Amino acid sequence: MNKSREFAVVILAAGKGSRLKSKLHKVLHNIAGRPIIEHLMAQVQILEPAKTIVIVGDEREQVINQVSDRAICVVQEPQLGTGHAVAQAKDELAEFEGDVIMLLGDAPFITAKTIIGMLERLRADDEPAVVVLGFEPEDALQYGRVITHSDMTIEKMVEFKDANEAERATRLCNSGLMAARSKDLFDLLERVDNDNAQGEYYLPDIVNVAVREGHTCAAVVADKPEEVLGINSRKELAAAERQWQELRREEALENGVTLKAPDTVFFSYDTELATDVTIEPNVVFGPGVKVERGARIRAFSHLEGAHVGEDCEVGPYARLRPGAVMEKASKVGNFVEMKKATLGEGAKANHLSYLGDASVGAGANIGAGTITCNYDGYFKHQTRIGERAFIGSNSSLIAPVSIGADAIVAAGSAVSRDVAAGELRMVRAEQLVKPGWADRFHDAMKKKKAAEKKG
């Protein structure tokens, strides 16, 4: 793209989103663990615009708190339509002589490539006053139509309810995303009126104003209709999540990842998977997970904020929480939970254990039912387990505590003091044996119960 002219981005995020029936602003609902507007912001930031302006209105503080570190937030109050919303950016762009891309905060899947295409068309030799991003859905429904000439210059924009039969037969629909030069944009907006049923100022009307005044306007078409999907309801939010997950699964398969049952695996926006990773059914990735080559994530496991090393095995039914690190060829099995814990190379915790605020040395073995007791009600404490240590089943390691290399903790022990390297530690109450006591107890209880029934 020719960068001789700067460009700014205006994102419209002032709407109420009432159909979502939520106290959370529409653009802050998550897709793949990331707020809707953050998907959009990520694509925008790739292109390094001169300015990014977000128009806010309803529940504005929520949106401002989310994006104000990377964007200028401008309030639209009251909300009088999309044209009125863009007009609120006029003061911020008063001295700006570049181009302006107008995006919708609830349409998260627009790509940097498509934005570049809009800018390139705006900068073409015929210098259109406005560029509209059109799309061709399978079912055009009641979308507004973009009526074009054969060269994709625009004859007019028409709302579905105002379109005649021939215009409704046109498959090119208006996405609501546009580009214009700053000097043209605000002049056109001043000539848009609100003579419509809603009494609002609509952004697409700038095209009709420009065409009436003899200016060229042009359309470009999105590669995929899904790219301009807007989200206004819980149903549409679920559809967007489904769309994102389907694309991510296809990408994983193409990149050498085995998915045993793709439709049951759910990724986060930032999941990193190396080649030759195998993922079994019903696995969920939260944000911040990286899985190295050759690892196997078995069924019904949940990972978040975790790093899984080469040739590791996770699950089934395992949970890796933030700060979990598995080094090469280590293993956690069924119903094992890790949090802020490192499992050294080749170490194993095969079942029914909790490792929290802990470091486990290479080759160590953690027996079933082992718990690192890391929390005293006020503070978290560390457990350190040395290389090749053996922790017997049903042991409680009461932090802060260290277990030395090659040490053995006997099954059923509650360890509250450090264990030296090579030492055996057994912490159990002395067994008390009373022959015949259980038989006498049962006889007495049966007689008592029988007497109560007679009474």
CB-neighbour burial class of residue 429 (10 A; exposed 0-12, middle 13-18, buried 19+): exposed
List, in sequence order, every residue forming a beta bridge with 179; answer none if it has no partner. 101, 131
Which one from 25, 302, 307, 351 is the annotated catalytic residue? 351
pTM of this prediction? 0.88
What is the secondary structure of 420-450 as a DSSP string? -TT-EE---PPP---TTHHHHHHHHHHHHHH
Q: Based on the number of CB atoms within 10 Å of its own CB, is 164 exposed (0-12), middle (13-18) or buried (19 or more)?
A: exposed
Is 381 known to be catalytic?
Answer: no
3-state helix, strand, coil in the chain (%, to 5): 25, 30, 45
Q: How far apart are CA 416 and CA 383, in angstroms?
A: 10
Question: pLDDT digit of tens for each residue in the chain (455 aa)?
Answer: 455 689 999 999 998 888 999 999 999 999 999 999 999 999 999 999 999 999 999 899 999 999 999 999 999 999 999 999 999 999 999 999 999 999 999 999 999 999 999 999 999 999 999 999 999 998 877 788 999 999 999 999 988 888 888 989 899 999 999 999 999 999 999 999 988 778 899 999 999 999 999 999 999 999 999 999 899 999 999 999 999 999 999 999 999 999 999 999 999 999 999 999 999 999 999 999 999 999 999 999 999 999 999 999 999 999 999 999 999 999 999 999 999 999 999 999 999 999 999 999 999 999 999 999 999 999 999 999 999 999 999 999 999 999 999 999 999 999 999 999 999 999 988 888 999 999 999 999 999 999 988 87
Distance of alpha carbon 133 from alpha carbon 350, whole angstroms: 54
Residues with Cβ < 8 Å from 45, sequence gap 6 or more? 52, 70
Q: Do the bridges between strand 130-135 and strand 173-181 make them parallel or antiparallel, or are there none, so unpaired? A: antiparallel
